[in-house]
Amino acid sequence: MTTPQSWEARADEYSLYGFTDLPSVHKRGAVVLTHGEGPYVVDVNGNRYLDANSGLWNMVAGFDHKGLAQAAKDQYDRFPGYHAFFGRMSDQTVMLSEKLVEVSPFSRGKVFYTNSGSEANDTMVKMLWFMHASEGNPQKRKILTRWNAYHGVTAVSASMTGKPYNEVFGLPLPGFIHLTCPHYWRFGEEGETEAAFTQRLARELDETIQREGADTIAGFFAEPVQGAGGVIPPSEGYFQAILPVLKKHGIPMIADEVICGFGRTGNTWGSITYDFVPDAIISSKNLTAGLFPMGAVILGPELTDRLQAAIDKIEEFPHGFTASGHPVGCAIALKAIDVVMNEGLAQNVIDLAPRFEDGLRQLAQNPNIGEYRGVGFMWALEAVRDKATKTPFEGHLSVSERIANTCTDMGLICRPLGQSIVLCPPFILTPAQMDEMFEKLDKALGKVFAELA
């Protein structure tokens, strides 16, 4: 076996890429990164990229935050690893759970840790199944989510995800039901107002529950803003319309705040931005500002009591991961929450969100941009062939991949999702860096749309 020489060739030879457009990478080569500087990442060839996707939405404090790295180093020195089984857990785990309940919208609650957002969603589903069965309702197992939702990649969370690509795995599993995506611009019908669209979705939910039987449904999961579906904020009044329906049928509502949590939408939780209180919150990503793989289920008071009662009956909750509540992850999360909330990062999102929207409004003048949408520091531009009819570009043209690749060549990383370009930068972005992002994106859009004209 000969060893390939370049970093790009070595990456290709030995690593299996996930969620990667392979023809494009084989043509262009992988980007192999060595380090970061604020919101920039630097590759093995010394090229610098403004990462307008915060890694994968998670590196909210940028790529070289000294205080976060120090918190990790300190904890590695003090107590570098432990579990949370058999009635033992680290002091950091105790402190983080207290903190998460304190910053949650709940008056009281309990926290359970995982290594990822996918596992946190899986854990929540198992908690619901376990709780309902213990309450004498073992048939309450169906899970309701929406099309375009992203909840993860494990067998259960991929089944919750509303994306056709999971068909290659024979997913979703039976009993995972997807409702209409609350994207008015794309799915609103001719002549339908946004309010009427929202009401239609609430009716669809009610009818679905009645058809399936409320006594067969375990819970409803929703991201406050759908992230990997293409940054889709809910239609006007969406959560206010669906929550009473869920309540009427006694179905728990779980907010998947893996992207929206900790400042991304301008508040601690996306559910605060959209003015509703869920029964539980799923957190990950920004929870550790991306420095440690960690997820958390945060239960509100009612689910805490019901789950606790179920656990008390068998005197054990038979679930947990080796690294659940890892002390280093917890120490980093405690620091990350402090940094984001108290060192001006969340405030920067609030301060710069209007400038963000202004920049996008200007880019959306482009005849091939159909819509700009988002909130806080999570936004998307959707490309269209024809603005008036909202007709997308032909699929084989891979318009968003072309735009993203052109941006990468110019030193800007943004994410193609469907026919949209997603911008979700670290919270430390300065106004000048935001301008750089828009200038580069504007040039890339001009170049690609001219090629496809």
Interface positions with ligand PMP (CB under 6 A): 116-118, 121, 150-152, 223, 227-228, 256, 258-259, 284
In angstroms, give the least distance from the CB of 182 to ligand PMP: 15
* φ, ψ at 145 (rounded to 5°): -140, -165
User: Could you give the angle at the alpha carbon of 408 between the alpha carbons of 441 and 431, nearest 5°?
Assistant: 45
Place of tokens 């399936």: 212
Q: Which is nearer to ligand PMP, 118 or 123 (CB)?
A: 118
In angstroms, give the least distance from the CB of 389 to ligand PMP: 31
* The two structure tokens encoding residue 18: 């996930």
In angstroms, give the least distance from the CB of 253 to ligand PMP: 15
List Cβ<8 Å contacts ≥24 apart for 97-102.
99/333, 99/334, 99/337, 100/283, 100/296, 100/298, 101/298
Run of H or E including 382: strand 378-383
Q: Which is nearer to ligand PMP, 234 or 359 (CB)?
A: 234
Q: Which is nearer to ligand PMP, 104 or 161 (CB)?
A: 161
Beta strands, E only, 29-129:
33-37, 40-43, 48-51, 110-114
Q: Which is nearer to ligand PMP, 286 or 405 (CB)?
A: 286
In angstroms, give the least distance from the CB of 87 to ligand PMP: 27
- Coil vs helix vs strand at 127: helix
Closest CA to 295 of 167, 443, 110, 118: 118
Q: Which is nearer to ligand PMP, 122 or 371 (CB)?
A: 122
Beta strands, E only, 85-168:
110-114, 142-146
In angstroms, give the least distance from the CB of 442 to ligand PMP: 27
* φ, ψ at 257 (rounded to 5°): -100, 25
CA 328 to chain centroid: 23
Q: Which is nearer to ligand PMP, 120 or 369 (CB)?
A: 120
Q: Which is nearer to ligand PMP, 150 or 269 (CB)?
A: 150
* φ, ψ at 390 (rounded to 5°): 60, 25
In terms of Cβ atoms closer than 10 Å to its own Cβ (0-12, 13-18, 19+), residue 138 is exposed
Residue at shortest CB range from ligand PMP: 117
- Count CB atoms within 10 A of the CB of residue 357: 16
**How many angstroms separate the Cα of 94 from the Cα of each of 23, 107, 288?**
47, 18, 16
In angstroms, give the least distance from the CB of 94 to ligand PMP: 23
Closest CA to 300 of 87, 126, 100, 118: 100
In angstroms, give the least distance from the CB of 361 to ligand PMP: 26
Run of H or E including 434: helix 431-452
In angstroms, give the least distance from the CB of 136 to ligand PMP: 31
Q: Which is nearer to ligand PMP, 222 or 441 (CB)?
A: 222
Closest CA to 124 of 105, 111, 136: 111
In angstroms, give the least distance from the CB of 257 to ligand PMP: 8
DSSP letter for 357, please. Answer: H
Q: Which is nearer to ligand PMP, 124 or 218 (CB)?
A: 124
Q: Are 39 and 428 in contact (CB under 8 A)?
A: yes
In angstroms, give the least distance from the CB of 296 to ligand PMP: 11
Q: Are 308 and 110 in contact (CB under 8 A)?
A: yes
In angstroms, give the least distance from the CB of 108 to ligand PMP: 25
Q: Which is nearer to ligand PMP, 59 or 384 (CB)?
A: 59
